Amino acid sequence: ASDVYKRQITISAGGAFLACLPKKIQKEQIIQVQLLINERIITALSRVVWINPQKMKNRSGYPYPPGFAVEFEQISGEARAEIDHFVKKSLRLLRALNFELNRSPQDRKRIKELFSQFRPGDSLHLNHIKKVVRLESRHFRVRKSDALC
């Protein structure tokens, strides 16, 4: 029987962080990861590179949830390109949402249209959109500064 982790919060062409309670995972363990991206399942043989067994904060005070990070060891070039495209598209949409939310006056129709592309099927209430964009933007900022440390 294989363990299934259903929530991922960070992904790049090189790997992913999966938020969960990592009970049976060990550092350097080789595991098979399946990701659902654009209605397609992408499979990658991956190596566990970091484990966070409990909620903790980084140097800037940003809370990391429990989970583990993997580096893709074996993944097709096509799958890696699809992940990279997905990440870049998501980031473009997030930047556009930030711009629209900070405009005066706000174009609510445009905001909802962008958010529907960013998070299909999610709530279109403006307060929810603002919260999600704020959290996602904070995550991208922290990830960028962490990479420089």
Spatial separation of the C-alpha atoms in residues 2 and 143, rounded to whole Å: 30
Residues 6 or more apart whose CB falls under 8 angstroms from that of 142 comprise 58, 60, 62
In the prediction, which pLDDT does 101 show? 92
Please report which confidence band the pLDDT of residue 149 belongs to, taking 50, 70 and 90 as the band edges.
very low
Long-range contact pairs involving 107-114 (C-beta distance under 8 Å, separation at least 24): none
- The torsion angles phi and psi of 56, rounded to 5 degrees, stand at -145, 170
Least confident of 16-30, 110-124, 127-141: 127-141
Angle at 68 between CA 141 and CA 134, to 5 degrees: 25
**pTM for this entry:** 0.72
In the prediction, which pLDDT does 1 show? 41
Please report which confidence band the pLDDT of residue 145 belongs to, taking 50, 70 and 90 as the band edges.
very low
Considering only residues 20 and 32, tell me which one the structure prediction assigns the higher pLDDT: 32
Residue 148: count other Cβ atoms within 10 Å of its Cβ. 5
Mean pLDDT value across residues 94-118: 91
- In this model, does residue 123 exceed pLDDT 60? yes
The tens digit of pLDDT for each residue in 35-93 reads 888 788 899 999 999 888 876 666 656 567 788 889 999 999 999 999 888 888 888 89
Spatial separation of the C-alpha atoms in residues 107 and 96, rounded to whole Å: 12
In the prediction, which pLDDT does 5 show? 53
The full length of the chain comes to: 149
